[in-house]
A and B are shown apart, each in its own frame.
Chain A
Amino acid sequence: MPPKQKGLRFKPKRTGKMKIKALIFTFFISGLLSSQVSFDAKVSKRQLGVNERLRVDFTMNKDGDDFEPPGFENFSVVGGPSQSINNSWVNGVRSFSKTYSYFLAPKKRGQFTIEQATIKIDGEVYKTLPVKISVSAAIDKPKDPNDPNYIASKKIHLVAEVSNANPYLNEAITVVYKLYVAQGVGVRNSREIDKPRYSDFWSQNIDVEGLGAQQGTYKGEDYLYVVLKKTVLYPQKTGELNIEPLSLDVTVEVPSNRRDVFGRSFMSTVNRRVSAGNRTINVKTLPEKGKPESFSGAVGYFDFKLTTNKKELKASEAFEVKLEVSGKGNLKLFRLPRLVLPSALEVYDPEHSEKVTTRISGMRGRVTDSYTVVPNDPGNYPIPSVSFSYFDLKTKRYKTLDSRRLIIAVGSGSEGKLENRKTSVGGENVITANRKQFRPFKTTADFTTINSKPFFRSILFWITLLGPFLLIPVFMFITKNKNTRALDVAGNKVRRTNRLARKYLSEAKKSIGKKEQFYNALERALHNYLKSKLHIETSEFNKEKINELLTKRSVGVASLDGFVSVLTACEIARYTPLSSVDMQNDYEKATHAINMLDKQLK
């Protein structure tokens, strides 16, 4: 036995690990020192992995003999037994402890018991209580309870707090990273090793002002925490999204089991890597029901305006159309509705500007698209109504805002002005026909009936189109006849005389009953007939001459007589009263005579 000394410290063979325990026992037992004998078995842990080690201390407060360790079946002794003795005098009271330490490694998994150890103190046999140990499956890394790294791992936690684990697409959520530090452990420094890439999110970090420690609890225990980082996230995809962990390299001060003379632990500094575990966010899709056509992904609460800086201007001047969305929500993450303008306007690409501030609650501000538009020609140009739709998070419904339809009146352009100026310089006002001017109303109109039948395909159309063509064959036929007659000269003559005779005869016929006229006409008819037939002149016209000529032409006596008798009858009639019956007879006679003559005179 070593001499009993105040404050004597044994340096056990396995110094580092035994230090703490030895110290504890020193103080403990020195306080408890009494006449009562105690003999206890203490284990460093009751639960351990099969790949971990276990330390068993058998401690007594009076020196004894014949120490017998238990059998340690199921365990293999990897170290020990080692003895340590603590002897101290405090205020005249002596405290003593003697410890036998074993380091054990379990052989297999299961529930085991460390059996009793015995010792004989002052002639009496003392036994420890059996200790139950459960050995579980292998643990990743056998933890050494005295390892500062291990302590740091137990005392420092990095936590990612997510405001809403089940947001809508494009609804803002915040992730706050807090470093929890247990009492008694200090953090000197922290450095981000691995910044999380929020691949499926739009993210913005919010600056954290100062790292003030605050009181908080972590898993029911009091901790101090520091907010390291705040991030606003807008999920850009639906479904289960992973927030990558943030890893920090933290310099931690951990109390070691070395103590200074006042019993305070030395702090050992350890670099510890902590990371907030993966968080999964389940992003909901926006409802399909009632989704407006103009919806372009805006989620939040917005106001929409369409403004122009001019309502009236001259052609080839420019004006500006501004589309503005203001409010709260994913302002940077949707497209503003496109302005659709009449194609006759020259429109330049819009100038996009954002005045958005991002706070922990999300984005807030306004985004504008301003279009520069140049009308080249005068006229009225409508700016059609533009619709902007967003998903209102408060009511969980879509809302559509429509701008009013505006009309921009564009007057005749500056070109006209220039022309005017030119003319005024010239001193004379030249009025040029300006084609680019809206024409006035018409003062007169020729009205027709609506739905009047179309001319095309009407009967009149076909008649007027084809009728003239029918004229061609008709005319052709007529001329053909005419020509054949023209060729036959004698026949023509006969026809002519016949026509003449008939004409006079018809004249005579008309005046049957009127003696003078009748016979005059009859005589004239006969004369004319002969005139044309025999080519004689009226002066030659007497019966002898007629006889002679007709005989020359070998006219039959009967016909000759008939003719002459008619002529005679005409002469006689002048002087004798005659009835209309006689006239009728004479007329028929004349006709007969002419016919007879005609046949013979060829």
Chain B
Amino acid sequence: MKYFLIFWAVSFIGFSQENESFNNANQLYNSGNYQKAASKYMSIIAANQHSSALYYNLANCHYKLNEIALSIFYYEKALLLNPDDKDIAINLDFAQKMTIDSIQEVPENGLSRLFAKTLNSLSVDGWAVRCVGLASLFVLLFLCYFFSYSESKKRIFFISSNVILLLLTSTLFLLFKKDSLENSMRPAIIFATEVEARLEPNLRAETSFSLHEGTKVLVVENYGADWSKIKLQNGETGWIANSELKEL
């Protein structure tokens, strides 16, 4: 009990410190001192604290400093923590306009697009929390069904618990799907001004296409410590040296 209180106090102090730094950085940002603001924001991250707003503000700094890759990188990080934020999406769009590559997404049919959209609307933990919630709800409804005496109540609880069970299984499916996707396709941002994607993980190999700073790719495979196999939104793949990109 005592330890818990101490922990609570410490965490509270830490919390207020971050907020102070965050406010300081915001002031620097507001006065146009983007370089200093960025380093201030970074100091919060160095203290092992993060938030969607922090990444967003940091990305804004880099955007103002015309550092394309860095700004896109942090906008994407902000989006990972808060996928629904409109501000992040809009400013990310601004940053993406600075990039040279435009990768046409392979047109998907409506169903798979819907599936992808649903899948990306929540993080893995988000889906996990929903699964837990649905499981509890199902059990509650099932017990209600079990304990209720009147015919009509029983029917209502039976149907609703079944609906929830269906929802639960589909949410579980989405959860595991999302988890496996995140493990197999880790998004990364190209940091090099221009980089050639090669057919094989070595410098002698033929280049299949070239990418520019700020382009988002998916890392699907690694070879050794130096090479990553990347996949573009349009489905093309190639090998890129790890030094040229940064995983989110």
Residues of A within 8 A of B (CB): 340-344, 377, 379-382, 384, 407, 435, 437-451, 454-457, 461, 464-466, 468-469, 471-472, 475-476, 479
Residues 189-230 of B at the A interface (beta carbon under 8 Å): 193, 212
Spot the interface stretch: B111-119, B139-147, B150-158, B239-247: B139-147
A-B contact pairs, 18 of them (CB 8 A): A344-B96, A379-B94, A380-B94, A407-B66, A437-B90, A438-B94, A439-B86, A439-B90, A440-B60, A441-B29, A441-B57, A441-B60, A445-B54, A447-B15, A450-B45, A464-B135, A469-B135, A476-B146
Report, nearest first, the 9 A-B pairs whose CB atoms are least far apart.
A343-B102, A468-B139, A445-B53, A344-B97, A456-B128, A442-B53, A439-B87, A445-B51, A447-B49
Known: A447-B44, A448-B49, A449-B50. 12 other contacts (CB 8 A): A342-B99, A377-B97, A379-B97, A381-B98, A384-B193, A384-B212, A441-B30, A447-B50, A448-B51, A454-B125, A456-B175, A469-B139
With a CB–CB cut-off of 8 A, which chain B residues contact A446? Answer: 51-53
Q: Which one of B26, B142, B212 contacts A472 once the chains associate, using CB atoms below 8 Å? A: B142
> Which single residue of chain B is at the shortest CB-CB distance from A443?
B26
Contact A380 B26 (CB under 8 A): no
Contact B100 A341 (CB under 8 A): yes
> Which single residue of chain A is at the shortest CB-CB distance from B143?
A475
With a CB–CB cut-off of 8 A, which chain A residues contact B23? Answer: 443
Contact A451 B48 (CB under 8 A): yes
User: From residue B129, how far is it (CB to closest CB) to chain A in Å?
Assistant: 7
Q: Binding site of B, secondary structure by majority: helix, strand, loop or mixed?
A: helix
Contact A384 B15 (CB under 8 A): no
* B84 interfacial contact with A, CB 8 Å: no
> Which single residue of chain B is at the shortest CB-CB distance from A375?
B97
- Cα distance, A382 to B194, chains bound together (Å): 14
- Cα distance, A440 to B143, chains bound together (Å): 50
- Cα distance, A441 to B88, chains bound together (Å): 10
User: From residue B198, how far is it (CB to closest CB) to chain A in Å?
Assistant: 15
Contact A464 B90 (CB under 8 A): no
With a CB–CB cut-off of 8 A, which chain B residues contact A472? Answer: 139, 142-143, 146
* B73 interfacial contact with A, CB 8 Å: no
Q: Which one of B53, B68, B132, B140 contacts A444 once the chains associate, using CB atoms below 8 Å? A: B53
With a CB–CB cut-off of 8 A, which chain A residues contact B138? Answer: 468
> Which single residue of chain A is at the shortest CB-CB distance from B94?
A379
Residues 49-71 of B at the A interface (beta carbon under 8 Å): 49-54, 56-57, 60, 63, 66, 68
* B19 interfacial contact with A, CB 8 Å: yes
With a CB–CB cut-off of 8 A, which chain A residues contact B135? Answer: 464-466, 468-469
Residues 14-28 of B at the A interface (beta carbon under 8 Å): 15, 18-19, 22-23, 26
Contact B100 A384 (CB under 8 A): yes
Query: Per-position contact with A for B91-123: 1 when CB-CB < 8 Å, else 0?
Result: 100101111111000000000000000000000
With a CB–CB cut-off of 8 A, which chain A residues contact B140? Answer: 468
Contact A343 B49 (CB under 8 A): no
With a CB–CB cut-off of 8 A, which chain A residues contact B128? Answer: 454-456, 461
- Cα distance, A446 to B49, chains bound together (Å): 10
With a CB–CB cut-off of 8 A, which chain A residues contact B49? Answer: 447-450
With a CB–CB cut-off of 8 A, which chain A residues contact B132? Answer: 461, 464-465
- Cα distance, A395 to B234, chains bound together (Å): 46
Q: Which of A344, A384, A439, A445 has the most CB of B within 10 A?
A: A445
With a CB–CB cut-off of 8 A, which chain B residues contact A381? Answer: 97-98
- Cα distance, A340 to B193, chains bound together (Å): 12
- Cα distance, A479 to B142, chains bound together (Å): 14
User: From residue B11, how far is it (CB to closest CB) to chain A in Å?
Assistant: 9
- Cα distance, A472 to B135, chains bound together (Å): 12
Contact B98 A449 (CB under 8 A): no
Contact A382 B30 (CB under 8 A): no
